Structure 1
Amino acid sequence: MSDFLKHFRTEQLEKGKEKIMDTKCPYCSVQCTMSLIEEKIITRKRFKAKPNKSDPTSEGRLCIKGVNAHQHVISNERVTHPLIKIDGEFVKIPWELALEYIAEQFKTIQREDGKDAVAAYGGGSLTNEEAYLLGKFARVGLQTKHIDYNGRFCMSAAATAANHAFGIDRGLTNGLHEIKDAKCIILAGTNIADCQPTILPYFRKAKKNGAYIIVIDPRETGTSKLADLHLQVKPGKDAYIANGMLKVLSDEGFLDEEFIKNRTDGFDHVLADLPSIDLEEMAQQSGVSAEQIKLAARKYGEAETGFLFTARGVEQHANGYENVRHFLNLVLGTGKIGKHACGYGAITGQGNGQGGREHGQKADQLPGYRSIENKEHREYIAKVWGIDEKDLPGKGVSAYEMMEAIDQEEITAMLVMASNPVVSNPNSIFVEKALKKLRFLVVVDMFVSETAELADLILPSSSYLEDEGTMTNLEGRVTLRKAERPMPKGVKHDWEILCDLASALGKKEGFSFSKAEEIFEELRLASKEGIADYSGITYNRIKEVGIIWPCPDTNHPGTPRLFDSSFSHRDGKAKFYPVQVSRQFPEISDEFPILLTTGRLMEHYLTGVQTRRSPDLLSRAKEPLLEIHPDTAATYGIDNGALFQIDSKQGSMIIRSNYSDKIRRDTVFAPFHWGDSQSINRVTSPALDPFCKMPEFKVCPIRVSPLVERKLVHQGQGGKQNETVDQGSS
């Protein structure tokens, strides 16, 4: 064989080799593990995702997003150099110049406008290390009080409710493996079939074992198909169902009086108010019949074991906190918590939505779920960070309130990392106008997102395949995500960028980390003896299956179930919440006669910055579609598949219709994964929950208008269309 042929054959064999990368899906809170096989055949690369059957959470399952997650990593749209905007165009510049320019701008703005004029805006997809470091960078590197993150729009209602009711916020109070043994399961405002499909088999097993499943949702979904009872609630009126059920549980003797007496506080006030709860009024308000409310209460009350889960359908309201508290009254009233197959769960949405809110990204938090307003907590973290407690900034404001502060020119510069606030915030037309007022905007992202388009400077960040670190899934399981794919040249990890920026600002001390594990070691110390205690967790201990926090020492196995004997308040007791619903709800009117609610699709994640750059995912869901009942569509002259306009008090957007008889006639549904004119948050309300500052995403009165005007003759709601005359384009 000639030397040429030998060389050619060797080269082809080399090119045909497989590379196997152990990793995690970067998307939802299940954090499914997998092996991604990269095969190089001649000059072409082929990828295949293989699920990890030993994963204790997903049990060897992947959904369509996980299978195709790698596609955005290899997209030719990735940003691979710092980009500065000159005369409206982005131009490549060296990292050294970019960092120097950012430091100069931040220093100048803080000198002229004050320390708090610079803000940091984070994301629930950052690793624990990066979330922790962003909080430290804001408070030590920038010395600003202004930091919050997009998780404010995900878990804040449930987190605040759980903290107040139980004294601790962890997504699930029990491990997922206990679900199969529950005899009744309530799924309130959660569509796990589309949002967390790889855990749906836990609920199927429960049903096979005899569980009675109740789903509370305005729409029929893949999850409601599993239900024995579907309560098709009016959007936002979930608390009326919960209070109606509590009334039935009390009247019919289903309450656990011993549990209430020994392990809870505040029930006397609830008991005093229960006589004022009228079941027929609860039915009228919620849109669910009194008989259905009775049936749901009886099934939950008589079940020996049971779980209650909530998610964004219950939580993304200006009364989301109270919604959750009312449902927690059911859990506490029946004593279904703190024992096998009995508990509560808030189904986390973002990949690291749990860990992201535990270590300092929220305006009011310090690492370990400590409070920034607690002097003892402040002193401890200041000592870990090597600063004086007096130099630690105070409490800032929530994510949307930062946009209002920008509009008022209280914030004049911002660093955005792993988030796309132009699309994810409510009232996004206002948000975009506000961001354009900034003197200086830096965005750290893999792509030129809708927010990055407004930036003065973009910094390129690494992907999930390239960035090692820990993530905390919906169980509270801290796991290690390996990074076995090299970064593109010119890209940095988010934590590296923060360290470099701190150094450029003259704050190198405290930010001289060389790898993610070093940051985690400091996080362990910072979380020690906090509510979210990670101090007993190490990279070595979590290589395989992870550990569920709290884990206070390296010999501790973790805590899959909370509250076996005590809750986390000082007195060890859980707290009931008053049953009265005081909120004035958004109401339909002649001008805005339909209720809009929003949510997720299985194919996409958050604002779609990554999933819309996955060809296989985009081909399955190319554009947002408005789910509308055919009778409702006929009333307003909306043809199936037609483009039309939605208007609210906040603004307008264009969307295509999709007829469905699986939704209430007074309600329409739209996904939130698209930007620009297709962003549904152009119309959503900025009303905020007073307890947790969650915006009102799930209820917004709107009107729908065809892009071609028509003259219609109705017979009331859902009436027949008798005459149609084209009037020309609007």
Structure 2
Amino acid sequence: MTDTAAPDVRTHCPYCALQCGMSLGGDDRGPGGPLRITPREDVRTNRGGLCQKGWTAAEMLTVPDRLTSPMMRATRDAPLRPCTWDQALDRITSEVTRLQGAYGPDAIAVFGGGGLTNEKAYQLGKFARVALRTSQIDYNGRFCMSSAAAATGRAFGMDRGLPGPITDLGRADAILLAGGNVAETMPPFMRHLTDAQEAGGALIVVDPRRTPTARQANLHLQPTPGTDLALANGLLYLAIEEGLLDEAYLAARTGGFEAVRTVVNGYWPDRVERVTGVPVPHMREAVRLLARGERSYILTGRGAEQHARGTDMVTAFINLALALGLPGRPGSGYGCLTGQGNGQGGREHGQKADQLPGYRRIDDPAARAHVAAVWGVHPDDLPGVGRSAYELLEALGTPEGPKAMLLFGSNPVVSAPRASAVEERLDALDFLAVADFVPSETARRADVVLPAAQWAEESGTMTNLEGRVQRRNRAVLPPEGVRTDLEILAVLADRLHAPGTWSDEPAEVFEELREASAGGLADYAGISYRRIDAEGGVFWPCPSEDHPGTPRPFLERFATPDGRARFTPVEHSGPAEDVDPEYPVYLTTGRVLAQYQSGAQTRRVGPLVEAAPEAFVEVHPDLAERLGIADGDGVRVASRRGTATVRARLTDAIRHDTVFIPFHWGGEARANLLTNPALDPMSRMPEFKVCAVRLEPVLPESAPDVPIDARIEEGASA
């Protein structure tokens, strides 16, 4: 580096909610110039570590099919062609005006993402309610953490991912992780689990697969998919039977336990073993490990949450944690492992159909009055509760549903359940506009595509899985012709003559967010850019600038009216769709190490494509032998909703009755062509994690074979 080179920029990884610290540097940091990534030792979540996605994150900025000009199609059947920004914005404005004039404000839908910064998530919610006056807004985080959010809100009065700093885990005597494969989804997280084991602690993993995380566990419980609730109730039964409850804690800090005790009396060990397939001795060992020490954690990931009864599944694990006296004690508790980069902050400030900034409910008159005053509108002018994510997608283009959609930071053609039906609904719209940095599978179906800036090209804040608000700092300018989402929203608000102020500067938007969140559950009023920089991040709630922030929010009381945590009795009912003679095998879905979410980013980064070039289906060798499937064969996997074609990967790390497909790929390999959109009645989470399928080998000439270059060229053709 020369003497005149700019100093490295301190920022965070663009991928998962661990938000690993990194510095970006390089001699030429103009648009498209090379960036050098250096992991930061001062950020305790990753402590100098990065996964392969983090190390290669800079390559995302210069992928071959990066969009640098707006694209528009003249008619629905015409191809997307480059156009000017004025042409694209004029088209969006005219379509919004025309359709709302004909059908009313709810004719326009907005769909956001859990990777947007706090500033963008906040501004997107404000734009929907004030500029568009529509109730029809939700986001892809509904597909990730919503069941855990609903369960923790019900039990503790507040949803705050981890209830303490991640470093608490390294001092735990026991950790039970249900439905999470952090060794692949957030590898630096494993350091904290390893710290605990090296100090004599135990790691218990609940997963139908023997994942890399499960292989490191002291104890692996391998239940039938969809039976986690029965397992958790069975563990609580054993805790009661063996006298392991914290009776003093139950009396002082909780309410409602007796109703739960009555329900779990029906989950005796032999019954739970028959339902789950987990041996009774393993269940007993798990409960004893959790109860043996002073500090224990129960954590859930998507495997326990993405179910049509996901809220109740998480509640069952929370009940177990409460019975053992864990939540609200230093170094112990229940926590949800947030997945998307800003999955925590993205659900706090107004992207969800039922929320206003600060985790306020949109149907609360006091919340409406507070936020309306900040926005400079009358409370009666704010819309009410809209449709949740899948219900919104399902309603697109129907007589009663939205006629147009504006989409930021999401790719539902790959990520939503029953994906072929989502494609049909998008195609039924009168108009679709997408802001993205590449021609994703969803962007290719749009009428207007706006080229958006990426993580290193813009500033803002992100809230990591601990509830710590952190700074993302711009290291390079975006390519010429590319704008940030804040710039896009500000100019559209101006063209639509929206009331109030609409800044495109992240710092100014954050100041407004602070005011709008003040007094809410997720109170950011005392958090400033200055404090974040000085303190290495600030934990919410933080109601004033002289408040230290709240790394452990439940030490003195829970956020319920009486300060007590609430037990809720829950019963096992099995998956919404069980196996039968026609579809005799369980399918579960998830992630792999080298890919992320819908793959729109990572499937374009060379080293990540080389590491994980295509989708696959994991099949136990015994099941494969019965079906005449060999390792590497093309396999057609069919459910009641569709068919996916992928290659077989034989492994004894999965149950005999279960197969696994990662969901990062598009086209015929989409796992979400198969998944069940059955919704949790409370969280509106679809049942991604279990459905019934059948498998059959396909002829070699019809097996999947899509080379890397062809995939990139396909994306560039939009």
- TM-score class, shorter-chain normalisation, is over 0.9
Matches within 5 A, 1:319-718: 319-409=309-399, 410-507=401-498, 509-544=499-534, 545-582=536-573, 585-708=576-699
Between 52-61 and 165-174, the greater mean CA deviation after superposition: 52-61
Between 296-305 and 131-140, the greater mean CA deviation after superposition: 296-305
Matches within 5 A, 1:46-125: 46-86=34-74, 87-125=77-115
* Residue pair 1:318, 1:689 contacting (<8 A) in 2 also: yes
Q: Provide the residue aligned with 1:299 in structure 2.
A: 289
Structure 2 CA distance for aligned equivalents of residues 39 and 608 of structure 1 = 30
Structure 1 CA distance for aligned equivalents of residues 157 and 49 of structure 2 = 33
1:145-186 per-position Cα deviation (integer Å, ceiling 9, x unaligned): 000000000000000000000000011001111112211110
Structure 2 CA distance for aligned equivalents of residues 141 and 117 of structure 1 = 13
The one-letter code sitting in structure 2 at the alignment partner of 1:562 is P
Between 443-452 and 81-90, the greater mean CA deviation after superposition: 81-90
The one-letter code sitting in structure 2 at the alignment partner of 1:672 is F
Q: For structure 1, list consecutive stretches of 5 or more residues without a partner in the other structure.
A: 1-12, 710-730
1:455-495 per-position Cα deviation (integer Å, ceiling 9, x unaligned): 00001100101110000000001001100201111111101
Q: Provide the residue aligned with 1:725 in structure 2.
A: none
Is 1:215 matched up with 2:205?
Answer: yes
Question: Could you say what secondary structure the match of 1:572 adopts?
Answer: coil
Matches within 5 A, 1:133-144: 133-144=123-134
Structure 2 CA distance for aligned equivalents of residues 72 and 660 of structure 1 = 32
Distance 1:40 1:248, change over 3 A: same
The one-letter code sitting in structure 2 at the alignment partner of 1:124 is G
Is 1:157 matched up with 2:147?
Answer: yes
Distance 1:533 1:223, change over 3 A: same
Aligned pair count reads 697
Structure 1 CA distance for aligned equivalents of residues 253 and 7 of structure 2 = 54
* Residue pair 1:18, 1:40 contacting (<8 A) in 2 also: no
Structure 2 CA distance for aligned equivalents of residues 303 and 318 of structure 1 = 34
TM-score, normalization by structure 2: 0.95
1:522-571 per-position Cα deviation (integer Å, ceiling 9, x unaligned): 00001101000100000011015101111111111211112111000011
The structure with more radius of gyration:
1
User: What percent identity do the matched residue pairs reach?
Assistant: 45
Q: 1:176 aligns with which of 166, 171, 176?
A: 166
Structure 1 CA distance for aligned equivalents of residues 181 and 504 of structure 2 = 41
Question: Could you say what secondary structure the match of 2:581 adopts?
Answer: coil
Structure 2 CA distance for aligned equivalents of residues 40 and 185 of structure 1 = 45
Structure 2 CA distance for aligned equivalents of residues 526 and 511 of structure 1 = 13
Between 363-372 and 55-64, the greater mean CA deviation after superposition: 55-64
Distance 1:585 1:293, change over 3 A: farther
Distance 1:285 1:268, change over 3 A: same
1:40-93 per-position Cα deviation (integer Å, ceiling 9, x unaligned): 59x996543110111132112111100001111011311111110135211121
**CA RMSD for the aligned pairs?**
1.9
The one-letter code sitting in structure 2 at the alignment partner of 1:566 is R
Is 1:38 matched up with 2:29?
Answer: no
Q: Provide the residue aligned with 1:29 in structure 2.
A: 17
TM-score, normalization by structure 1: 0.93
Shift of 1:275: 2.6
* Residue pair 2:2, 2:27 contacting (<8 A) in 1 also: no
Shift of 1:593: 1.0
Q: Provide the residue aligned with 1:720 in structure 2.
A: none
Shift of 1:23: 2.5
The one-letter code sitting in structure 1 at the alignment partner of 2:315 is R
Is 1:202 matched up with 2:197?
Answer: no
Q: Provide the residue aligned with 1:715 in structure 2.
A: none
* Residue pair 1:270, 1:577 contacting (<8 A) in 2 also: yes
Shift of 1:292: 1.3
Distance 1:417 1:631, change over 3 A: same
The one-letter code sitting in structure 1 at the alignment partner of 2:215 is K
Shift of 1:37: 3.0
The one-letter code sitting in structure 2 at the alignment partner of 1:60 is G
The one-letter code sitting in structure 2 at the alignment partner of 1:89 is P
Question: Could you say what secondary structure the match of 2:344 adopts?
Answer: helix
Question: Could you say what secondary structure the match of 1:602 adopts?
Answer: coil
Structure 2 CA distance for aligned equivalents of residues 557 and 464 of structure 1 = 28
Distance 1:365 1:45, change over 3 A: closer
Q: Provide the residue aligned with 1:276 in structure 2.
A: 266
The one-letter code sitting in structure 2 at the alignment partner of 1:332 is L
* Residue pair 1:16, 1:40 contacting (<8 A) in 2 also: no
The one-letter code sitting in structure 2 at the alignment partner of 1:74 is T
* Residue pair 1:248, 1:298 contacting (<8 A) in 2 also: no
* Residue pair 1:15, 1:40 contacting (<8 A) in 2 also: no
Structure 2 CA distance for aligned equivalents of residues 583 and 382 of structure 1 = 43
Q: Provide the residue aligned with 2:712 in structure 1.
A: none
* Residue pair 2:575, 2:690 contacting (<8 A) in 1 also: no
* Residue pair 1:19, 1:39 contacting (<8 A) in 2 also: no
Structure 1 CA distance for aligned equivalents of residues 432 and 33 of structure 2 = 37
The one-letter code sitting in structure 1 at the alignment partner of 2:128 is A
Q: Provide the residue aligned with 1:4 in structure 2.
A: none
Question: Could you say what secondary structure the match of 1:349 adopts?
Answer: coil
The one-letter code sitting in structure 2 at the alignment partner of 1:502 is A
1:589-643 per-position Cα deviation (integer Å, ceiling 9, x unaligned): 1111111100011111110101111111111100011111111111111110111
* Residue pair 1:48, 1:67 contacting (<8 A) in 2 also: no
* Residue pair 1:317, 1:696 contacting (<8 A) in 2 also: yes
The one-letter code sitting in structure 1 at the alignment partner of 2:20 is C
Shift of 1:19: 6.9
Q: For structure 2, list consecutive stretches of 5 or more residues without a partner in the other structure.
A: 701-718
Question: Could you say what secondary structure the match of 2:283 adopts?
Answer: helix
Question: Could you say what secondary structure the match of 1:522 adopts?
Answer: helix
* Residue pair 1:447, 1:460 contacting (<8 A) in 2 also: yes
Question: Could you say what secondary structure the match of 2:532 adopts?
Answer: coil
